[in-house]
Structure 1
């Protein structure tokens, strides 16, 4: 299957992406005309990622999904490259403008109509997922306040702060500066 895509898209070079904390394999692929990214994952969350990309295409500048398949418990997603600089790379140039861009990107996402959005998640579900993954978290990789408070107390704080009223918006599953690209 992967070899078939290499031939179909006339891929001439494959480079493993070294950015990110995900366990997924991400590869930069290129040919003489275009660049692609291939994501290989065993996490079913990629199904929501594909749904989001397909829904957001034409609404926001997101990757175009070219191929998506599953084989032997692995998911394979081939998508276009989105040109731009990672927002985190702009921090050293101008912190205030970078933070404004970060807020603008979030506002753009939240301003989209949610009526037909194919992914529905409740905050309770996300908190439960976080609880389930506590044993997998390396506390040394977290910010100081979380280290001091501890993981269980941090989760309890999330439960306490959970709003009673729901304001439904489209959310990004990993809204961090490396995942926001800024173009010209």
Structure 2
């Protein structure tokens, strides 16, 4: 195994690093918003989220006495990603604690998603420093909750074979960030094929189970966000990213507790490596 193949790319560091960063309150020109979005957000103050890997414009919306909302907007390549997230939020409604899709509007080649906010602070927030093990146990609880959810009618295929096909297409189209690797991406893809799980353990997966996407409120798990990659997949798809994100944000010494609390004290290192490597092709 060529352990030096994959580096954590800058885009991943942004995803793994701490809490949401926001600018000052913005004065938004509502004439630039679709009419439905402008009406639904009338009276709200907009704060732009400046941390993340999606490439979308993301805003937190707040108003006295009204529920906090999030607005995401994107065009071009990001249009499909937002459509994916909207589809998953519609399917997920009532199944798991997640944002509720308030509106999805297309205009001028772009897409606008307005959704409710999950309460609490994310698992990378420094407020957890006083009791990191408690946060880690809640992180594991979230994994168990998602993985136990029924997926009989889940239309989103993120099984290893489907993910490898997506990776192959991105590689052929030149969409893979070569800077994420210490070797030619084509060589890394061959390594992926060698590591592919032969008997995948398919459950419902989040797809981007990094600490900023898991929320805690009042010492309890409150829900999940950024669900555009949710679907049926191998449970290690989430375990690998959760362990990597935990190590980056709070230190590798906490990773064994994550697996122990999840109920997998001796994880399959080969599968972890496969899904860490596969994520670099996404």
CA deviations 1:25-46 (Å, max 9, x no partner) are 1111223312110111232132
Instruction: Give runs of aligned pairs for residues 160-171 of structure 1, distance below 5 A.
Output: 160-171=194-205
2:95 to 59, 62, 68: 59
Structure scoring higher RCO (CA < 8 A, sep ≥ 6) equals: 2
Instruction: State the TM-score, normalizing by the size of structure 1.
Output: 0.81
* 1:88 and 2:134 are equivalent in the alignment: no
Aligned pairs for 1:39-50 (under 5 A) are: 39-42=72-75, 43=78, 44-50=80-86
What is the TM-score of this pair, normalised by structure 2? 0.56
Task: Indicate how the Cα distance of structure 1 residues 173 and 2 shifts in structure 2: closer, same or farther if over 3 A, else same.
Answer: farther
Structure-1 residue corresponding to 2:28:
none
Q: Which whole-Å deviations, capped at 9, do the CAs of 1:47-82 have from their partners, x for residues lacking one?
A: 231222222222221111110122222111100111
Secondary structure of the 1:38 match is strand
Distance 1:135 1:47, change over 3 A: closer
Which runs of 5 or more structure 2 residues have no equivalent in the other structure?
1-32, 219-282
Corresponding residue SS for 1:15: strand
Distance in 1 between residues matched to 2:210 and 2:189, nearest whole Å: 20
The one-character-per-residue Cα deviations of 1:109-129 (angstroms, maximum 9, x if unpaired) are: 110000122322332332343
SS of the equivalent of 2:139 reads helix
Task: Describe the shift of the 1:69–1:3 C-alpha distance in structure 2 as closer, same or farther (beyond 3 A).
Answer: closer
Aligned counterparts of 1:103 and 1:158: Cα–Cα separation in 2: 26
Q: What do the CA deviations read for 1:133-173 (whole angstroms, capped 9, x no partner)?
A: 5655273xx6xxxx556644443333222112233211113
1:68 corresponds to which of 95, 99, 104: 104
Cα separation, partners in 2 of 1:5 and 1:88, compared to 1, 3 Å: same
1:157 and 2:197 are equivalent in the alignment:
no
User: Alignment partner for residue 105 of structure 1, among 142, 145, 151?
Assistant: 142
CA RMSD of aligned residues (A): 2.5
Aligned to 2:235: none
1:116 pairs, out of 153, 156, 159, with: 153
Matched, 1:17 2:49: yes
Equivalent residue number for residue 178 of structure 1: 212
- Count of matched residue positions in the alignment of Structure 1 and Structure 2: 178
Conserved in 2, the CA contact under 8 Å of 1:48 and 1:119? no
- Separation in 1, partners of 2:129, 2:49: 23
